[in-house]
Structure 1
Amino acid sequence: MHVTLRQLSVFEAVARRLSYTRAAGELHLSQPAVSMQVKQLEETVGLPLFEQTGKKNQLTEAGREVYQYTRAIFGMFEEMEEVLAALKGVDTGQLDIAVASTVNYFAPRLLAAFHQRYPGIDLRLDVTNRKQLMALLEANETDIVLMGHPPEKLELESEAFMENPLVVIAPPGHPLDGVPGIPLSRLQDETFVMRESGSGTRLAMERFFKEHGLELKSGMQMTRNEAIKQAVRAGMGLSVASEHTIELEVETGRLVILDVEQFPVLRKWYMVYRKGKRLSPAAVAFRDFVLAEAKNIRREAV
């Protein structure tokens, strides 16, 4: 079977985007040129690779198989480039980092320090929620993920690199503001603004209170840390948040941390990637940098 890398490259773009038009834009080709390359590949394979359902393009069963092999082929090319780059030293390379939205409050400082040490490495950052991070890990579509407690359903390598203290936050002037040693049971009388179901902070929060036999009164659910903070400031309830995400608000007096018994709850931030993944030289450099420098960068920022 005579298949060219050009055909596979064009097919991969169309399959990933499920759009001839968007693939053409990405590849800087005309749409007829993209269609011709895919058609030639289909003729070589002897099976249709796409089918149209309404106005949407979908991969056929053969298309899905070819797509998986195509990804593997180009993955091997990338690995070869990375191995050759390693022989030249860690001065160049590309690194895809995905971080939980909560991590993004300190990730820019970390990445800036890494970039200063390795200016030739091209960094790409994806900030998203826990659900999407798990999807990226499952599909092995990123080099390293920075997140809270790693999912147990996937085979992963994980290394803790920094503590992540969870605290109870309230608006200034709340009846519990300034009260020392608030009993944990007292929180049952309060309404809590919660992160969405499945978020790392919410999972840790629910696990902690369940272990202590407490059931909290849930108010609004929100998907962004900024929305949570605004809701607490507006008096819509208390919340549990990573101390790293509220530094500015506490410093400027817009939020307060309550002195609740058994708080802060100490969790950890983890660096995570798929088990068996061969890290590129750039990824190895980043892993070693984070393990060595993350705590120092954090202390400098406080």
Structure 2
Amino acid sequence: MILNSEIDLGVVEGPIHSNYIESRHLLDDELYIVCSKEHHWAKKNIIQMDDLSKADFIVREVGSGTREVFENTMKSHNIEYNIKLELNSIEAIKKAVEANLGVSVISRLALSDESKNSKLKKVEINEIKFKRKFNIIYHKDKYLSDLHKKFIDFLYSSVAK
């Protein structure tokens, strides 16, 4: 939509694949491995990389930045993985994990409510971090008006809190 001038600005996760898009770093994020309270990983303090290849994963759809970070990180560590379910909603993924249908990788930003209520368990893993960046994007030929600049400043001030 940025390339077609259908929207002026966007906030996206993951890498940008066009030379016509300007990208400005907004914030860093980390994806956490999560399971239900009933999953056997919930009783462990830490899991090993080998445990990941035995798990049933519930993941976002192809094209999702979360999915891309997950797959690239697993590939970079030579870990094979089994996708049990593919869903296009983070809320649906959280509900499926809560129902103990599998495990997932979910943004720390999306886990605030569940961690307070202990519906999901964040699992520590040896030697792997799922990191991603959020970027503000716009077409490289886009004139940024004062209003655009104020909105970008608002975004930066919002994540600084």
| Larger proportion of helix | 1
- Once residues 153 and 276 of structure 1 are traced to their aligned partners in structure 2, the CA distance between those partners, rounded to angstroms, is 13
| Larger proportion of strand | 2
Residue 165 of structure 1 deviates from its aligned partner by 0.8
TM-score when normalising by structure 2:
0.93
Match of 1:158 among 14, 17, 23: 23
Residue 267 of structure 1 deviates from its aligned partner by 1.4
Kindly indicate whether the alpha-carbon contact (under 8 Å) linking 1:160 and 1:269 is maintained by their aligned counterparts in 2.
Answer: yes
Kindly indicate whether the alpha-carbon contact (under 8 Å) linking 1:183 and 1:261 is maintained by their aligned counterparts in 2.
Answer: yes
Kindly indicate whether the alpha-carbon contact (under 8 Å) linking 1:228 and 1:239 is maintained by their aligned counterparts in 2.
Answer: yes
Please name the residue that 1:141 is paired with. Answer: 6
Structure 1 178/294 Cα, relative in aligned 2: closer, same or farther at 3 Å? farther
3-state SS of 1:176 partner: helix
Match of 2:44 among 179, 184, 191: 179
Letter of the aligned partner of 2:141 in structure 1? Answer: G
Residue 244 of structure 1 deviates from its aligned partner by 0.5
Please name the residue that 2:94 is paired with. Answer: 229
Q: Which has the higher contact order (CA 8 A, sep 6+)?
A: 2
Aligned runs of 1:184-199 on 2, under 5 Å? 184-199=49-64
Residue 154 of structure 1 deviates from its aligned partner by 4.7
| Deviation string, structure 1 residues 214-241 (Cα, Å, up to 9, x no partner) | 1101101111111000100111100011
Letter of the aligned partner of 2:22 in structure 1? Answer: E
Structure 2: 5+ residue runs without aligned partners?
Answer: none
| Deviation string, structure 1 residues 172-211 (Cα, Å, up to 9, x no partner) | 1321114233111211111001111111100110000001
Please name the residue that 2:65 is paired with. Answer: 200
CA RMSD of aligned residues (A): 1.4
Kindly indicate whether the alpha-carbon contact (under 8 Å) linking 1:138 and 1:154 is maintained by their aligned counterparts in 2.
Answer: no
- Once residues 23 and 43 of structure 2 are traced to their aligned partners in structure 1, the CA distance between those partners, rounded to angstroms, is 38
Residue 257 of structure 1 deviates from its aligned partner by 0.4
Please name the residue that 1:217 is paired with. Answer: 82
Could you tell me the percent identity over the aligned residues? 27
Letter of the aligned partner of 1:267 in structure 2? Answer: R
Kindly indicate whether the alpha-carbon contact (under 8 Å) linking 1:166 and 1:263 is maintained by their aligned counterparts in 2.
Answer: no
Kindly indicate whether the alpha-carbon contact (under 8 Å) linking 1:150 and 1:158 is maintained by their aligned counterparts in 2.
Answer: no
3-state SS of 2:25 partner: strand
Pick the structure with greater CA Rg: 1
| Deviation string, structure 1 residues 243-263 (Cα, Å, up to 9, x no partner) | 101110111011110011234
Letter of the aligned partner of 1:140 in structure 2? Answer: S
Aligned runs of 1:37-52 on 2, under 5 Å? none
Kindly indicate whether the alpha-carbon contact (under 8 Å) linking 1:167 and 1:263 is maintained by their aligned counterparts in 2.
Answer: no
Please name the residue that 2:136 is paired with. Answer: 271
- Once residues 150 and 144 of structure 1 are traced to their aligned partners in structure 2, the CA distance between those partners, rounded to angstroms, is 16
Residue 294 of structure 1 deviates from its aligned partner by 3.1
Please name the residue that 1:295 is paired with. Answer: 159
Kindly indicate whether the alpha-carbon contact (under 8 Å) linking 2:38 and 2:100 is maintained by their aligned counterparts in 1.
Answer: no
Letter of the aligned partner of 1:239 in structure 2? Answer: S
Structure 1: 5+ residue runs without aligned partners?
Answer: 1-135, 298-302
Kindly indicate whether the alpha-carbon contact (under 8 Å) linking 1:150 and 1:272 is maintained by their aligned counterparts in 2.
Answer: no
